[in-house]
Amino acid sequence: MDNLKDYYLGIGIDEKVYDFCATIEKKLKSRFDEIDKVAEQNQIRVIKALQDAKFAEEHLNGTTGYGYNDSGRETIEQVYANLFHTEDALVRQQITCGTHALTIALSGNLRPGDEILSPVGKVYDTLEGVIGVRESKGSLKEFGITYKQVDLLPDGSFDYDNIRKAINKNTRLIEIQRSKGYDVRPTLSVEQIGELIKFCKEIKPDVICMVDNCYGEFVETIEPSFVGADMVVGSLIKNPGGGLAPIGGYICGTKECIENCAYRLSSPGLGKEVGASLGITRNIAQGLFLAPTVTASALKGAIFAANIYEKLGFKTVPNATEDRFDIIQAVEFGKPEFIQAFCEGIQAAAPVDSFVTPIPWDMPGYDSQVIMAAGTFISGASIELSADAPMKEPYAVYFQGGLTYQHAKFGIMMSLQKIVEKGLIVW
Ligand SMILES: *Cc1c(COP(=O)(O)O)cnc(C)c1O
């Protein structure tokens, strides 16, 4: 018996579960090598962005109060602009989450009478409230901003004919969501996003193309701003925060777009000049430094899981072999007991709150109960190993993250262990 196996047996994994997972893992070596190559390129890209901005020890100190002349904040924003190849960036802890970052990007750049077009189908759940697709106080709809949507074709490609028809004199902003999020459509590659932006700009050159980049950062070696996006938006408690940023969001884009965002985030006239960093620039910078390898770990975990559960006969999205463009993995179990067991396993493998049992609850904004497993250092951080599932057909669990591959692997082994313990799979 090898020594490593003893460690797993000692922490509650059965020999059969261990052996099954170990056999699967052996076949993933070349896949993992590819991911490491992407991480290596991205690591160099991050270091270069820091060096080109002359990031220095003095920038690790924070400011208080108004935060005037916060050189750390200004420099980290330059780092993000360098990294994303954009004219400017807004990287702030005052941006409370991804939805908030997207809200700032939209409301900062749209005016009454303007129209948003989503050419990739339904927007992320929380954005429906922001835009006013779902009736919501303070939505953009209340400010006279309208919304149109063109769904992807059944094969997942762009419906160019209807996109052309949907673009009109009021279309001011194209919203492109890179990750499928918790939807069934495929995630878009940066290359596909580039083609879509080119098409839209040919029809209307001055339209603003904004990409919701959540869960996509560092999965590839290029970002949507390399292929024409005017604004790229995301959350620091996902990929680019590397697990160390305790809060925050980013918007990278053209000088004009970022200026508009800054006036919305703080106040007209104040813009980027205010916003104390309170000493968290260190976490944002160090998290960014770790983000390429953290994202790689999460991707390896997702591929490991897809291979395990596909081998056991379940539908996985993405499947075991296809290319990845975000860190989310879905497994369709078809039965609620599997979801419960899976989430218990993820929780039991967590570094924080490992002793609690996740139970389904009535989460605001959802039409069914939702179960969540997350034992994270940063509350709600989905770059850390976490899983959630709406308790309804097709009983699919979505999971993501893993600050280290070793942890993601253990969590997935534990999920299978719980499924086996409950007698849901008989070997
Ligand atoms: C996470 C996410 C968001 C924003 O979510 P927050 O929970 O507000 O950070 C928006 N779009 C997509 C695709 C996401 O994955």
Could you tell me the two tokens for 23? 């056999």
Distance 35 CA to ligand 1 centre (A): 24
Q: Is 235 in the pocket of ligand 1 (CB under 6 A)?
A: yes
Centre of ligand 1 to C-alpha 382, Å, is 10
Q: Is the CB of 98 under 6 A from ligand 1?
A: yes
Ligand 1 in reach of 401 Cβ (< 6 A): no
CA distances, 396 to each of 258, 314, 329, 370, 399 (Å): 38, 10, 10, 11, 10
∠ CA 213-215-220, rounded to 5°: 80
Instruction: Indicate the pairing of strand 231-235 with strand 208-212.
Output: parallel
Nearest atom (ligand 1) to Cα of 179: 13
Protein residue whose Cα sits closest to atom 4 of ligand 1: 98
Average pLDDT over residues 137-156: 97
Residue with CA nearest ligand 1 atom 9: 98
User: How would residue 338 be classed by pLDDT, with cut points 50, 70 and 90?
Assistant: very high
Is the CB of 126 within 6 Å of ligand 1?
yes
The answer, yes or no, to whether residue 1 has pLDDT greater than 60, is: no
CA–centroid distance, residue 177 to ligand 1 (Å): 10
Pocket of ligand 1 contains residue 124 by CB under 6 Å: yes
Between 339 and 426, whose confidence is greater?
Answer: 339
Q: How far apart are CA 176 and CA 157, in angstroms?
A: 13
Confidence band, pLDDT 50/70/90 cuts, at residue 365: low
> For residue 112, what are its two tokens?
């009454």
pLDDT at 367 over 80: no
pTM for the full predicted model: 0.96
Q: How much is the average pLDDT of 210-217?
A: 98
What mean pLDDT comes out for the span 298-302?
98
What spacing in Å lies between the alpha carbon of 281 and ligand 1's midpoint?
22
Token pair recorded at residue 393 = 């057909």
Q: Of all protein residues, whose CA lies closest to atom 6 belonging to ligand 1? A: 98
CA 313 to CA 321: how far, in whole Å? 15
Q: How far apart are CA 55 and CA 68, in angstroms?
A: 18
Residue with tokens 């697990």: 243
- Helix (H) or strand (E) segment spanning residue 118: strand 115-118
- Residue 237 CA, closest ligand 1 atom number: 9
Ligand 1 pocket, 177 CB below 6 A? yes
Amino acid at position 69, single letter: N
Decide whether any atom of ligand 1 lies within 6 Å of the 118 Cβ: no
- The string of pLDDT tens digits covering residues 167-206 is 999 999 999 999 988 777 889 999 999 999 999 999 999 9
Distance CA 348, CA 351 (A): 9
Residue 231 structure tokens: 């604004």
Q: What residue owns the CA closest to ligand 1's atom 14?
A: 214
Q: What is the DSSP pairing of strand 370-374 with strand 146-149?
A: unpaired
Tell me the pLDDT band of 427, cut-offs 50, 70 and 90.
confident
Q: Is 181 in the pocket of ligand 1 (CB under 6 A)?
A: yes
Using most ligand atoms within 8 A of CB, pick from 95, 99, 188, 213 the residue to mutate for ligand 1: 99
Best of 131, 182, 211, 212 for a ligand 1 pocket test (most atoms within 8 Å of beta carbon) = 212
Q: How far is Cα 273 from Cα 112, in angstroms, rounded to an integer? A: 27
Q: Residue 426 Cα, ligand 1 centroid: separation in angstroms? A: 37
Looking at ligand 1, which atom is closest to the CA of residue 100? 8
Burial class from Cβ neighbours inside 10 Å (0-12, 13-18, 19+) for residue 35 reads: buried
37-42 long-range Cβ contacts below 8 angstroms, 24+ apart: 38/218, 38/219, 38/220, 38/221, 38/292, 38/296, 39/218, 39/292, 39/293, 39/295, 39/296, 40/292, 41/221, 42/218, 42/221, 42/291, 42/292, 42/295
Alpha helices in 89-189 (DSSP H): 98-109, 125-131, 160-166
Strand order in the sheet with 171-177: 88-92, 249-253, 231-235, 208-212, 171-177, 115-118, 146-149
Q: Whose CA is nearest to atom 5 of ligand 1?
A: 98
Q: Could you report the per-residue pLDDT of 250-289, keeping only the tens digit for each?
A: 999 999 999 999 999 999 999 999 999 999 999 999 999 9
Nearest Cα to Cα of residue 245 among 128, 381, 73: 381
pLDDT at 183: 79
Q: Is 220 in the pocket of ligand 1 (CB under 6 A)?
A: no
Q: Strand, helix or coil at 88? A: strand
